[in-house]
Structure 1
Amino acid sequence: MSQVVIVGSINADLAVDVERHPLPGETLHGSDVVYSPGGKGANQAVAAASLGANVTMVGAVGNDANAEVALERLAASAVDRSRIRRTDAPTGLAIVVVDERGENTIIVAPGANALMDAAMVEEAADVVREADVVVMQAEIPVSGIERAAELVAGRLVFNLAPVTEVPREVLRRADPLVVNEHEGRLALRMLTGRDAADSTDEAIVDGLVAAGCRSVVMTLGSRGSIVHDGSGGAAAIPSAKVDVVDSTGAGDAFVGALVKGLAEGATLVDAARYASRVGAFACTRKGAQTSYPTTADPLPELPA
């Protein structure tokens, strides 16, 4: 079975439901306070492993109570946790506020994730080199991202979220670079220096490929995604229509499913179509990792 290694963040999530998001300086009552596992790296690892991928997680947590929360789903989904470091720093914490429409805002305190620099990534150099697919996000230090990209011998999937200034060669090495609309425009500015704020989504994707990215997937939420495999033109992938309960972690579910498809030899377009169904499914349940489907769950169909 192909080996997937995910180098990234591991958090505990503190989620609070509100009727609407507060305005600056405003205090609102919330309800249903829930602690759950999160972090973009761990989310993507759980999503891929829950769908049957063979996944190793490279990351860091603290020795506090939140570490057990953060690791719970990684263990339950059979992710290899032997390369997760325990540190004296607190486990990363994300504070998630979800309104009655399922839209969320998130504040992240990185904690132990901030220690995932080049030196700590180097400790896992053997598993990164041996992986068929390596997945990264931007919730660890840039030096860790850069070193992991240098170590990759297989396929690198880089999710530029949140947007962080990284070396241009990391963006060009990605196959694919995964971004949303906002991230894609900033990535193009990083690569070319030009302001692309008024460009269409399709033009951004084409521009990223023209600027040297091997392939690109731009996620568009309920509008689906745009995929460019580096040859030919961009393809539009629709989103499955579902009743949204909570969109937290849906983008990470998409990436995990995309990686699972790629690891099994699917084309980028076919992997993105599968990922679109998984991402939509994740919106029908509350939480991030707690909302991800397993191989036993029926996925919503894409529109014809």
Structure 2
Amino acid sequence: MSNIVVIGSINMDVVNHVQKHPLPGETIKGWGTSYYPGGKGANQAVAAARAGGKVTMIGAVGNDSFGRSLSAALQKEGINTNYILEKEGTSGLAFITVDSFGENSIILSEGANGKVGISDLQKLSSIMKSADMLLLQNEIPWETTTHVFEEAQNSDTRVFFNPAPAFKVPEDVLPLIDVLILNETEVQVITGNEIRDVSQARLAAEQLSNEGVKEVVITLGKKGALYMNREGDNLYTPAFTVETVDTTAAGDTFIGAYAVASTAGQSIKESLQFASAASALSVTRRGAQSSIPNREEIQHFLHNQLDN
């Protein structure tokens, strides 16, 4: 079983459902508000746990009622929560608006996530070094994430990084990343190249590989996913066709499932298909963690899709 340590954000998602996203200055009527445990770090931890990984979560919640429920939700998934810190103040919040097509827009209020410091992680170095993989995003302070990259160089632990929210990753950090997993928007921010099709994604992946990233996975939504490594090997897999209800956490679901599959001896093609199936199932359901499928559901979906 894969031993995965996720270091990242833990949020409460406040989700509003609407017919269409409001224009600047426009007031619209919503269809209802729901509260779901979320945060890119926690979502990816849940996705990895449901996909069959042994997962430890490192992050922070506030000393508010949200914090207690967020930790409890992760515990319920069998995730080790012993290293979740409690910080003074509020937990992280994400204000999510989902339209009738299932597309979402998100505003983050970092709360306790912004207080995860280097000193916190220095106390946990043995936990991180014992992992098969560290899984990181960009919703805790960048200097803390950079510290993890540097520490991982002194161990055999692989580092998977999802640069979301999107930002320009410093060039000296790229060689520290074992697997960079990103979508079209994040590719454009990092490389400056717009991605409209698979061929453009392949060029962007080649650029990132030339800049030092060992392996690159670019998710292309309904167009599928592309893998490339530093040796130039590349593989494209198409997406599975499903009816989209809500795209919240689809990317996180892909990443968590891919992380488990790729450390469990599956081939790159099998790992991409497994992750794509998990992501496809997630967009047919509402919410973040509530939409993430378990391993049995993923395998059943894959069996039906690949046999037809």
The SS at the match of 2:20 is: coil
- The Cα offsets for residues 1-36 of structure 1, whole Å up to 9 and x where unpaired, read as 331000000000000100000000101111221111
Structure 1 distance, partners of 2:174, 2:210, is 12
1:176 equivalenced with 2:182 (yes/no): no
Partner residue in 2 for 1:109: 109
2:75 partner amino acid: A
Partner residue in 1 for 2:41: 41
Partner residue in 1 for 2:203: 203
2:193 partner amino acid: A
Q: TM-score scaled by structure 2? A: 0.92
Mapping for residues 108-257 of structure 1, pairs under 5 Å: 108-152=108-152, 153=155, 154-188=157-191, 195-197=192-194, 200-257=200-257
- The Cα offsets for residues 202-225 of structure 1, whole Å up to 9 and x where unpaired, read as 211111111211010011111111
The SS at the match of 1:82 is: coil
How far the C-alpha of 1:175 sits from its partner, in A, is 2.0
Are the aligned partners of 1:253 and 1:275 in contact in 2 as well (CA < 8 Å)?
yes
Instruction: Tell me which stretches of 4 or more aligned residues in structure 1 moved more than 6 Å.
Output: none
- The Cα offsets for residues 236-267 of structure 1, whole Å up to 9 and x where unpaired, read as 11111111111100000000001111221223
Uncovered stretches (5+) of structure 2, i.e. residues with no partner = none
1:94 equivalenced with 2:109 (yes/no): no
Structure 1 distance, partners of 2:94, 2:20, is 19
Structure 2 distance, partners of 1:171, 1:39, is 24
How far the C-alpha of 1:197 sits from its partner, in A, is 3.8
Are the aligned partners of 1:60 and 1:84 in contact in 2 as well (CA < 8 Å)?
yes
Could you say if the C-alpha distance between residues 31 and 198 of structure 1 is closer, same or farther in structure 2, counting changes exceeding 3 Å? closer
How far the C-alpha of 1:198 sits from its partner, in A, is 7.4
The SS at the match of 1:56 is: strand
Could you say if the C-alpha distance between residues 302 and 25 of structure 1 is closer, same or farther in structure 2, counting changes exceeding 3 Å? farther
TM-align CA RMSD? 1.7
Partner residue in 2 for 1:299: 301
Identity across matched positions, percent: 37
Structure 1 distance, partners of 2:275, 2:171, is 26
2:175 partner amino acid: R
Q: TM-score scaled by structure 1? A: 0.93
Are the aligned partners of 2:169 and 2:190 in contact in 1 as well (CA < 8 Å)?
no
Are the aligned partners of 1:146 and 1:167 in contact in 2 as well (CA < 8 Å)?
no
The SS at the match of 1:58 is: strand
Structure 2 distance, partners of 1:125, 1:6, is 13
1:74 equivalenced with 2:71 (yes/no): no
2:147 partner amino acid: R
Are the aligned partners of 1:37 and 1:72 in contact in 2 as well (CA < 8 Å)?
no
The SS at the match of 1:299 is: helix
2:166 partner amino acid: V
Structure 1 distance, partners of 2:176, 2:258, is 17
Are the aligned partners of 2:206 and 2:232 in contact in 1 as well (CA < 8 Å)?
no
Structure 1 distance, partners of 2:278, 2:306, is 11
Structure 2 distance, partners of 1:303, 1:234, is 24
Are the aligned partners of 1:6 and 1:134 in contact in 2 as well (CA < 8 Å)?
yes
Uncovered stretches (5+) of structure 1, i.e. residues with no partner = 189-194
Could you say if the C-alpha distance between residues 136 and 16 of structure 1 is closer, same or farther in structure 2, counting changes exceeding 3 Å? same
Identify which range, 14-23 or 70-79, moves more after superposition.
70-79
1:62 partner amino acid: G
Identify which range, 230-239 or 82-91, moves more after superposition.
230-239
Are the aligned partners of 1:12 and 1:69 in contact in 2 as well (CA < 8 Å)?
no
Partner residue in 1 for 2:7: 7
